[in-house]
Chain A
């Protein structure tokens, strides 16, 4: 709450300073710069999800130069969202990125109230006339994690530090296990819900609990490097980085990281508004789109690494489909038979674990 207010003031100051220096704008840029707002769920320094959105913003400013200005508000708790969003609209933002699923419903609401502003929600599930959604197919990276985990684990148990039971996390858990089972059908998973996207201490505690109960590969769906770092401290435990390349936090435990890249998308969307061609699109980019990539594989034998590369390339090429049938729920009901594939909407609505995952849905 407080951080957001401080940053709003800073942002407002920046806008004020910009307005006070009209001479600095070259005459060629007759068009007034587009004000872009970004609302981040965590601090810019989380070294994960929010850091990467911040880098996307920097990339946008770098490419579009003085055609855009950006006001970013970090660490906005969902209850504060409406106030921050309204403030951004008031201070002149015409394109606003709200970068968390926790903001999705609130974004739908404020988008309806502010029809002249273009809204974009990351990981949202529905578009509206002035609301676009964007996400990356991170589950492709999760599949690769599952394959690697099955190769590295001696206890045959993966530990998963999860945030909240939302479809994005649930289908990631399902996909990790699909990847793991493709190597070894005996693989098991334990899940701890940290109840936060960012709480380093709690994330580390969750990883401790999982490791103490015999997990030796830790997957994390929270944003700080704490679980990975703990794996490093414990030794003989491996982990994956989230959102940014976290190799440096765990030189001996890190296997790979899913590295997000929002910059190109932000450039394209800001350009679309400037050119008048903005559409309420639904973008879900896979490994082939460049919206995320996998950090170099570390702490793996050459055979393990080349297998992981092969799986990654097959996913990027679309020859390997993580949501191919048959898919059976935990309770045994068949979702789709062999030969079919889940639609994007079905993936985004996944609220069940697959058969074989011995974890209760909270």
Chain B
């Protein structure tokens, strides 16, 4: 494997948790709900995922538990913001804080437990393609899941009737309600989907990327996923570009440091943020987009 291939391989894996969490949040925000608690749902996924995997000895069960944990956190958020129509920003922030704390409690018995990570699965034939094969088709299952999520969500949002309804709820919940759509039900399902994705992203960290538990191990990735959604103009393909770009520049700057590139390391460390924002803003200028769902963050109380 050449150095270039090795770098690409690392880039894909480093970007995967960002992308999975961002795609989930994208759907949530498209439905008109702003859930700032991605970090909290993600770390709960990481903690519950590894706890379940260690307890049962099955990675698959760990992943399932992580997804359910993310959904449980999201359901709590939905109960407060959709059921009781409380302020979404405040509840989202509280969810992030709560998740960080609760995950520490859940994970405490598993600190220092060593476990094999989930390995890569090479797709027959495709992985034999020179260059592209090993980089794209000899990865762990989460990487494929991320590809599938981007394509699936893009198709769902813009090619299906249900996707249209979801976007309508995000643009103008009063109109959607008047047309007879169940705004709160749609939003609830979207929020649950976002929680599932965040939990999955968390499981990736604790079961594949660094297969052990330490509290605070998401280290701010949930917040970066949130930022990617905004800079991607709420479009799935752009979110993929943003996530891979961010992951790519992060890895490249580490390589640049290691290779002794004569630039201040502080500047190199800031590069992922600078370049991702710059590129996505440029794309926004050239290709349009940028305005978020009009009803984003507004609570909806159906009048009967």
Contact = CB atoms under 8 A, between A and B. Distances in A.
Given A45-B108, A200-B210, 20 more contacts: A2-B101, A43-B216, A46-B215, A47-B214, A75-B215, A192-B254, A192-B257, A195-B265, A198-B219, A201-B205, A201-B210, A202-B219, A205-B250, A208-B6, A208-B251, A209-B255, A229-B212, A233-B117, A248-B114, A362-B264
A45 B258 contact: no
A210 B265 CA distance: 15
Contacts of B215: 3, 43-46, 75
Contacts of A248: 112, 114
A195 B221 CA distance: 15
Contacts of A224: 210, 214
B257 A193 contact: yes
Contact of A195 (B100, B216, B269): B269
A99 to B, nearest CB: 16
Nearest to A200: B210
Given A212-B7, A233-B117, A359-B260, A2 B97 contact: yes
Interface string B94-134: 00010011001001100110100100000000000000000
Contacts of B265: 165, 193, 195, 362
Interface in B247-304: 250-251, 254-255, 257-260, 262, 264-266, 269
Interface string B176-218: 0000000000000000000000000000010001111111110
Nearest to B266: A362
Nearest to B255: A209
A174 B117 CA distance: 34
B210 A209 contact: no
Interface in B30-51: none
A358 interface: yes
A196 interface: yes
Contacts of A191: 257-258
A209 B212 contact: no
Interface in B2-34: 3, 6-7, 10, 14
A177 B57 CA distance: 42
| Most central of A47, A201, A249, A360 by chain B CB within 10 Å | A201
Contact residue range for chain B? 35 or more
A204 interface: yes
A137 B219 CA distance: 30
A360 B258 CA distance: 10
A46 B214 contact: yes
Interface in A191-248: 191-193, 195-196, 198-202, 204-206, 208-210, 212-213, 215, 224-226, 229-230, 233, 248
Contact of B100 (A3, A159, A209): A3
Interface string B123-161: 000000000000000000000000000000000000000
Nearest to A208: B10
A154 to B, nearest CB: 18
Interface in A60-101: 75
A6 interface: yes
- Give the interface centre of A199, A209, A226 by most chain B CB atoms within 10 Å: A209
Nearest to A6: B101
Would you list the 9 A-B pairs with minimal beta carbon distance, nearest first? A45-B111, A209-B254, A362-B265, A43-B215, A2-B97, A212-B6, A200-B210, A199-B219, A226-B210
Contact of B10 (A43, A202, A209, A358): A209
Nearest to B11: A205
Contacts of A151: none
Contacts of B264: 362
A40 to B, nearest CB: 12
5 contacts: A45-B112, A46-B215, A190-B260, A196-B219, A209-B10
A165 B219 CA distance: 21
A198 B216 contact: yes
Interface of B: 3, 6-7, 10, 14, 97, 100-101, 104, 107-108, 111-112, 114, 117, 205, 209-217, 219, 221, 250-251, 254-255, 257-260, 262, 264-266, 269
Contact of B255 (A204, A212, A358, A359): A212
B85 to A, nearest CB: 25
Nearest to A2: B97
A212 B112 contact: no
A213 B266 contact: no
Contact of A205 (B10, B100, B260): B10
A358 B262 CA distance: 11
Contact of A229 (B205, B210, B257): B210
A200 B260 contact: no
A338 B214 CA distance: 46
A192 B269 CA distance: 11
B216 A193 contact: no
Interface in A326-362: 358-360, 362
Contacts of A205: 10, 14, 250-251, 254
Nearest to A227: B210
B260 to A, nearest CB: 6
B221 to A, nearest CB: 7
A109 B278 CA distance: 40
B46 to A, nearest CB: 10
A360 B261 CA distance: 8
Contacts of A206: 254, 258
Contacts of A212: 3, 6-7, 10, 255
A227 B14 CA distance: 15
Contacts of B107: 45
B14 A75 contact: no
Contacts of B212: 47, 200, 225-226, 229, 249
Contacts of A46: 214-215
Contact of B262 (A45, A210, A360): A360
Contacts of B259: 190, 213
Interface in A32-66: 42-47
Contacts of B205: 200-201
Nearest to B219: A199
